[in-house]
Amino acid sequence: MMKRFSWLPGTTLAAALALLLAAGLLAPALRAQEEGAKPPETKTVVTPPAEPANQETEPSAKPAETKATSEAPAPGSGEEKAAAKADQIRRILETTSPGASSEGPAGAPAAGGARKSDAEAIAVVEKYLQAIGGRENLAKIKDSYTKFRNVKYSATAETEAVIALYIKRGKTLSSYREEWEIKDFKIGNRKLSFVQIYNGDLMDGWVKMFNTVSPLEGRTLSVFVWDKHIDDFFVNWEKNGYTLHHVAAETLEGVETDVIKVVDFTGRQTQRYFFSRETGLIVKKEWYDEGGPSRDKREQYYRRYTPIAFSDGSGISIKFPLHLEILVNGDLDTERIYTGVKFNSSLSDDLFAQPEGKPFEEREMFEEEEGEGEAGGDEPGAGGAPKAESSEKTAE
């Protein structure tokens, strides 16, 4: 049966998506899209101070932010507002914690104060980066395109989302475009699909759904840009304030692994990554999620690493895991299956421009029109976007 949902009066499009999330209707697909994790515990507000207080960072949590504030231009000036907006968004893009929680009692700060990475852990991570293609080749990625299916399992049903993600390096910040289609889910008589765009050069974002456009901002923007990497999380781990610690050597599914604990700058959020000693590749990562009523153990397994050749004829390739499995407390919760992966396919800037459409109004969502059509109304292949390919063809 198709799921249906009614908007509350006066809802903006971005807020409507947040409403769906709050209602739990998009949570399965979003959780899978975020690799089963939540945004960092320490959050930065991207919109004016009217946003809820729980999105703000405590002043003592990140001294660098206090320094940035003290050096800002005079309050109220146009220059000050532009600088603040750029700094806020940049910090969100750079705060890419995979969303792990503290080890020990829920919510308790990790003990030990300041930490330094150990040489053994750094060596394991460098071996991994070399195994997938090398830092120098990861730095040559100008744009990326991935298309994948997220399948969320429950005791009574499966929820599937098809997502296409486009990322392009910019002069200042990267730009992102994400196209969603939620299978067997309807709003009124229309299929639920939408497009989210963030333009790093303009530092502006939009959501398009049912030929209506709304600003992408606040909490919705934070979730959208968080934890999206054009290269790999471990390329900039040190710059982004993380430390690495070799904590164990374990056998996992018959594979000898080095276990590396990744700790964020607060010392509160941690994850453990399991790297194959033979291949150097990541086999699994695990963390504890405290976002719900219970403290759940989450594990993500990386399957089917496949060399993906750059589309620019350079002969460079990067190894990419085409199948991810997420377990919650030992049970399979979500699968992500990639059906298309491309690097350096010359994505057009038009993909990241403000989309055409009418301003979002609640009443427009239920106006009767002929046929259902695709939400968003744009052809994904327009403006230089690559068409989806099977993983087998992509791997050539």
User: What is the 3-state composition of the chain as percent helix, strand, coil, each rounded to the nearest 5?
Assistant: 25, 35, 45
**pLDDT for the residue 381:** 45
Residue with tokens 């993600």: 165
Q: Which amino acid is at 370?
A: E
Cβ-based neighbours of 321, under 8 Å, separated by 6 or more: 282, 302, 303, 304, 305, 306
Task: Report how far apart, in Å, the C-alpha atoms of 303 and of each of 154, 260, 331, 348, 373 are.
Answer: 22, 19, 17, 31, 35
Buried b (16+ CB within 10 A) or exposed e, 237-263: beeebbbbbbeeeeeeeebebbbbbbb
Q: Which residue segments constitute the domains of the chain, with CATH numbers given?
A: 13-42+96-394 (2.50.20.10), 53-94 (no CATH)
- What global pTM score does this model have? 0.69
Could you list the pLDDT tens digit for every one of the 396 residues in the chain? 444 333 333 334 444 454 454 434 444 344 444 443 444 443 333 333 333 333 333 333 343 443 434 344 455 555 565 555 555 445 444 443 334 444 433 333 444 445 799 999 999 999 999 999 999 999 999 999 999 999 999 888 888 999 999 999 998 889 999 999 998 887 778 888 899 999 999 999 999 988 899 998 887 787 888 778 999 999 999 999 999 999 999 999 999 999 999 999 999 899 999 999 999 999 999 999 876 678 899 999 999 999 999 999 999 999 999 999 999 999 999 999 999 999 999 999 999 999 998 887 644 444 544 444 444 434 444 344 444 443 344 444
Tokens of 32: 């899978």
Look up residue 364 and give its amino acid: E
